[in-house]
Copies of this chain bind each other. A is one copy, B any other.
Amino acid sequence: MLDRPTKQQNPGAVSAALAELTALFGNRLVTSLAVREQHANITTWHPVAPPDAVVFPQNTHDVQQIVRICAGHRVPVIPFGTGTSLEGHTNAPFGGVSIDLKDMNRILEVHPADFDCVVEPGVTRKRLNDELRDRGLFFSVDPGADASLGGMASTGASGTTTVRYGTMKDNVVSLKVVLPNGELMSTARRARKTSAGYDLTNLMVGAEGTLGIITELTLKLHGIPEAISAAVCRFPSVDAACRAAITAIQSGIPMARVELLDEMQVRVCNAYSKLNLPEQPMLFLEFHGSEAGVAEQATRFGELASEFGSAGFEWTRGTEDRTRLWQARHDMFWAIASYRAGAKVVVTDVCVPISQLAECVAAARKEIECAGLIAPIVGHVGDGNFHASLMVMMDDSGEVARAKAFIERLASLAIAADGTCTGEHGIGEGKKHFLLPEYGEAAVEVMRTLKHALDPDDIMNPGKVV
> Which residues in A have some Cβ–Cβ distance to B below 8 Å?
111-116, 155-158, 162, 166-167, 169-170, 179, 183-200, 202-203, 205-207, 211, 223, 225-226, 246, 249-252, 254, 289-290, 292-293, 296, 300, 351-355, 383-385, 414-415, 418-427, 431, 434-435, 438-440, 442-447, 449-454, 465-466
- The CA-CA distance from A289 to B189 in the complex, in Å, is 32
Of B166, B196, B451, the contact of A420 (CB 8 Å cutoff): B196
Given A114-B354, A169-B202, verify A193-B424 contact (CB < 8 Å).
yes
Chosen A-B contacts, 29 in total, with CB atoms closer than 8 Å, are: A111-B355, A113-B353, A113-B355, A114-B355, A115-B354, A155-B195, A157-B195, A158-B195, A166-B170, A169-B193, A170-B170, A179-B442, A185-B440, A186-B442, A188-B439, A189-B438, A191-B418, A192-B385, A195-B427, A196-B420, A196-B427, A196-B435, A197-B427, A198-B450, A199-B199, A252-B289, A290-B296, A449-B453, A450-B450
Residues of B within 8 A of A434 (CB): 196
- The CA-CA distance from A424 to B186 in the complex, in Å, is 20
By Cβ-Cβ distance, the 9 closest A-B pairs, closest first, are A453-B453, A156-B195, A194-B420, A202-B202, A113-B355, A185-B442, A190-B418, A191-B351, A191-B419
| 4 further interface pairs, Cβ-Cβ under 8 Å (given A113-B354, A196-B435, A197-B438) | A186-B439, A202-B202, A223-B251, A223-B252
Asked if B426 contacts A195 (CB within 8 A), the reply is yes
Asked if B443 contacts A200 (CB within 8 A), the reply is yes
Asked if B114 contacts A194 (CB within 8 A), the reply is no
Residues of B within 8 A of A200 (CB): 439, 443, 446-447
